[in-house]
Amino acid sequence: MENQPFLVAEQVSYIFPDGQFHVLEDISLTINAGDFVALLGPSGVGKSTLLRLLGGLLKPTSGRISMADLPESSATDPIGVVFQRDNLMPWRTVTENVQLPLELQRQADQESRYRVQEMIELVGLAGFEGSYPAQLSGGMAQRVAIARALVHRPALLLLDEPFGSLDALTRERMGQELLRIWHALPVTVFMVTHSITEAVMLADEVLVMGGRPAVGDPAALIHRVPIGLPRPRQLEIQGTRSFQKCAKEIRSAIQV
């Protein structure tokens, strides 16, 4: 399924329903199956809005968003979302939090219990199954959120600045974890971030968004940078010249 268009947005615009506030204008993009795509842009430009449109949490004012049919996918909900905050339910244990999407789909059989455990192990939280969110660190809580977003085997994983509230070291480690998880699963990833390093480190392709919706200049995609760095990527790759070339290109695009 490599290089097959998976998610296609055609001339998508979005205006906030309560008024004239025009957020996005004429956005077209194609995400290939299995790719890792990062979206960069200044704060308030509407990155999260685009993510919510792609995830179906918002409906575009005009334009079309379509997802390829995946016959082999048994999931009734093809999308998993990880938000900036972990959004765990404090009254549920780690296991119960991860299990939530399956519960909502009324799946509570032996296989789903096995899958919950598998996800907890995949994100490296074996041994913490019975812990409550308040007993976890920020990074651990975000791992639970990732496990929860993946437990129903979505074909698309949307990440809205998932590591934005973590400290720099934890953040770096979580990025590596995310790469490992992505390699382990047949999942397409779309991630909003405001870290250029993180975007280059993780993604196959970086989209840059520009515009100033707050002053009536709706956002659009202004640049697209393919990241041809070899995989698997280790942290040391950040010192290479090709890494810095990509980062530099993105930085100059943002400043336009």
Partner 1 sequence: MPWLNKQPTWLIISISFLGLLLGWHLLVAWGGYARFILPGPVDVWQQFLIVLRDGRLLKHSLYTISEVIPGLIIGSLIALPLGYLLAKSQLAERLLSPYLIASQAIPVIAIAPLLTIWVRSTYWARVLVAVIVVFFPILVNIIAGLRSVPAELYELMASLQASRRQIFYKLELPASLPILLAGLKVGATLSVIGALVGEFVQPKSQGLGFLLVTARYQFKTALVFVVLVTLAVIALTMYGVVALVEKRMLRWQAKN
Looking up tokens 């202004």 gives 222
DSSP H or E run through 24: strand 22-32
Contact region for partner 1 (CB under 8 A) — 75-83, 111-119, 218-226, 227-235? 75-83
Residues 121-150, one symbol each (x = binds partner 1 by CB under 8 A, - = not), give: -----------x-xx---------------
Residues 39-68, one symbol each (x = binds partner 1 by CB under 8 A, - = not), give: ----------------x-x-----------
Helix, strand, coil content of the chain in percent (nearest 5): 35, 25, 40
26, 77, 111, 217: which one contacts partner 1 (CB under 8 A)?
77
Residues 87-106, one symbol each (x = binds partner 1 by CB under 8 A, - = not), give: x-xxxxx------xx-xx--
CB 229, CB 246: distance < 8 Å: yes
Comparison of 82 and 246: residue with beta carbon closer to partner 1: 82
Tell me, by CB under 8 A, how many residues bind partner 1.
21
Question: Using CA atoms, how far apart are residues 223 and 1, in angstroms rounded to an integer?
Answer: 26
For the chain, give me the number of helices (H) and strands (E)?
Answer: 7, 9
Instruction: Give the sheet arrangement for strand 5-15, strand by strand.
Output: 62-67, 5-15, 22-32, 217-226, 205-212, 36-40, 188-192, 156-160, 79-82
Residue 85 near partner 1 by CB under 8 A: yes
Distance between start and end Cα atoms, the chain:
35
Q: Which two tokens stand for residue 69?
A: 């049919």
Residue 180 near partner 1 by CB under 8 A: no
83, 220, 223, 249: which one contacts partner 1 (CB under 8 A)?
83
Comparison of 101 and 211: residue with beta carbon closer to partner 1: 101
Comparison of 34 and 101: residue with beta carbon closer to partner 1: 101
Point out which residues bind partner 1 (CB under 8 A).
55, 57, 76-77, 79, 81, 83, 85, 87, 89-93, 100-101, 103-104, 132, 134-135
